[in-house]
């Protein structure tokens, strides 16, 4: 496919929310006006100087942006001569990139005169980021969460409640993420006049893949400038972990028109068997789910397949539509990292650099370490999407304290 990346942002998505044949909005009739209202408001408001200036102020004063780019000298030296750099989204307020789009969505709700924001959450990371935005903007907030997840994710449930959000337990079906999505959609259908549904990644029906991408692009835009200022060059490879695809799309787009190789990393989990991983781009096929057309992992009936990853933020059976498109254009490649590789990267970054990464981000880091070994020279820029405090209990229980990682000196 012939795509001009100099004018890419002007042309994609199309007016009806398409990235080539991916994306779109497959909605129940009643939600069509609600999505139209959000799209029209966003397309107007996102160009207003009040909105842009307010978002800039929030990023600087509340979120602590810009987050730095950091050169991992010790980790790089341990592998060879290829240099690994990190974009430190773990230092963004609340410890991950998700706040970037939640603050954007909250500000949009405020400009649209809405009183309430809602969402579903699985592991609770999106819920905490949205509850933070709601507290900041003085909006009501309801987070739908399966009862099983509530029991598993007590610290995040506590955070949401302390931040003033209502956590609504979902008691239907398997009582996890899928049922929580359905419950949140039912709420939205009834309440869209004063409520906005805030999606947690660059997916869902138009305009969400576009809005979330636009709000996350601050990551790549900052990183590109910072890297150039530090080194005088651009990196040879840019990489990020891909769950729904928000931290990666935000990192990648500012490099689309550069001579830079771009690679998204999906979770291979325990292996290649369906149910053991969540590598939708690598093993999936085209289909519609949750309101958009993309590449997804299907079960025998053609519905969303069960997925698994050690990183709960990556276990989603589809992927944002723009990723499907960028691969089809041949501009972005996708590869995988397993649980085992991710945990190895988790310990190495902790031990050799003093940074405990989120297990999600550890997938991209694992790939960077593998590539650095192969490349021998050059540089790789990794989006370190979040910090790993949330994963510590789990890692210690299952993998110990990393005793096998001997001290490394040079
Ligand atoms: C949620 C999450 C991800 C995965 O989501 P994307 O939308 O693919 O970015 C990655 N890293 C961290 C730290 C997360 O919390």
pLDDT tens digits for range 363-372: 999 999 999 9
Specify the DSSP element, H or E, that contains 226: helix 208-231
Average pLDDT over residues 245-259: 98
Give the tens place of pLDDT for each residue, 159-217.
999 999 999 999 998 888 888 988 998 999 999 999 999 999 999 999 999 999 999 99
Distance set, CA 125 to CA 17, 22, 94, 98, 403 (Å): 27, 27, 9, 8, 29
| Ligand 1 mean position, distance from CA 131 (Å) | 17
DSSP string, 67-93: PPEEEEHHHHHHH-SPEEEEEEGGGSG
Q: What is the pLDDT of residue 36?
A: 95
Q: Is the CB of 241 under 6 A from ligand 1?
A: yes
Q: Is the CB of 94 under 6 A from ligand 1?
A: no
CA 314 to ligand 1: nearest atom: 4
Cite the DSSP H helix spans in 46-170.
49-58, 73-79, 98-111, 125-137, 147-152, 154-162
Sheet holding 69-72, edge to edge: 69-72, 83-88, 379-384, 237-241, 261-269, 332-338
**72 belongs to the catalytic site:** yes
Q: What is the pLDDT of residue 343?
A: 98
Tokens of 208: 């969400």
Give the tens place of pLDDT for each residue, 302-361.
999 999 999 999 999 999 999 999 999 999 999 999 999 999 999 999 999 999 999 999
Task: Please say if the pLDDT value at position 225 is more than 60.
Answer: yes
232: left (phi over 0), alpha (psi -120 to 50) or beta: left
| Ligand 1 mean position, distance from CA 368 (Å) | 17
Tokens of 345: 């990267």
Nearest CA to ligand 1 atom 4: 243
Q: What angle do CA 172, 177, 182 make, to 5 degrees?
A: 60
Which of 334, 331, 308 shows the shortest CA–CA distance to 242?
334
Task: Please say if the pLDDT value at position 410 is more than 60.
Answer: no
Confidence of residue 409 (pLDDT cuts 50, 70, 90): low
The one catalytic residue in 82, 93, 97, 290 is 97
Distance of alpha carbon 200 from alpha carbon 204, whole angstroms: 9
Q: What angle do CA 228, 232, 234 make, to 5 degrees?
A: 55
């Amino acid at each position: 496919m012939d795509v001009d990346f100099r004018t890419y942002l002007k042309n994609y998505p199309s007016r009806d929310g398409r990235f080539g044949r991916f994306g779109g909005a497959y909605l129940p009739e009643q939600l069509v006006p609600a999505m139209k209202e959000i799209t029209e408001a966003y397309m107007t408001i996102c160009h207003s100087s009040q909105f842009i200036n307010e978002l800039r102020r929030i990023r600087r004063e509340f979120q602590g942006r810009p987050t730095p780019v950091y050169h991992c000298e010790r980790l790089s030296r341990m592998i060879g001569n290829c240099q690994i750099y990190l974009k430190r989204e773990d230092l963004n307020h609340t410890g991950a990139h998700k706040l970037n789009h939640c603050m954007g969505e909250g500000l949009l709700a405020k400009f649209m005169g809405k009183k309430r924001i809602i969402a579903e959450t699985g592991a609770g990371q999106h819920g905490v980021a949205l509850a933070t935005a709601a507290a900041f903007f003085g909006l009501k907030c309801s987070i739908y969460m399966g009862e099983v997840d509530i029991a598993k994710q007590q610290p995040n449930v506590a955070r949401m409640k302390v931040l003033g959000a209502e956590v609504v337990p979902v008691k239907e079906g398997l009582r996890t993420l899928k049922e929580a999505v359905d419950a949140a959609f039912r709420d939205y259908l009834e309440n869209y006049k004063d409520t906005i549904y805030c999606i947690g990644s660059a997916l869902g029906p138009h305009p969400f893949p576009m809005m979330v991408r636009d709000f996350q692009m601050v990551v790549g835009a900052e990183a590109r400038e910072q890297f150039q200022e530090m080194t005088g060059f651009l990196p040879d490879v840019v990489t990020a972990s891909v769950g729904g695809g928000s931290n990666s799309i935000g990192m990648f787009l500012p490099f689309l028109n550069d001579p830079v190789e771009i690679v998204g990393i999906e979770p291979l989990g325990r292996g290649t068997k369906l149910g053991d991983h969540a590598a939708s781009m690598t093993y999936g096929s085209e289909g519609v789910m949750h309101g958009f057309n993309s590449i997804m992992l299907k079960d025998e009936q053609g519905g969303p397949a069960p997925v698994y990853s050690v990183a709960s933020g990556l276990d989603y059976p589809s992927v944002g539509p723009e990723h499907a498109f960028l691969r089809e254009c041949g501009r972005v490649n996708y590869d995988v990292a397993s649980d085992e590789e991710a945990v190895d990267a988790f310990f190495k970054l902790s031990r050799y650099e003093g940074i405990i990464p989120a297990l999600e981000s550890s997938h991209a880091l694992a790939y960077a370490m593998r590539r650095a070994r192969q490349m021998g020279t050059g540089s790789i820029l990794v989006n370190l999407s979040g910090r790993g405090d949330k994963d510590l209990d789990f890692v210690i229980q299952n993998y110990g304290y990393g005793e096998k990682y001997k001290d490394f000196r040079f």
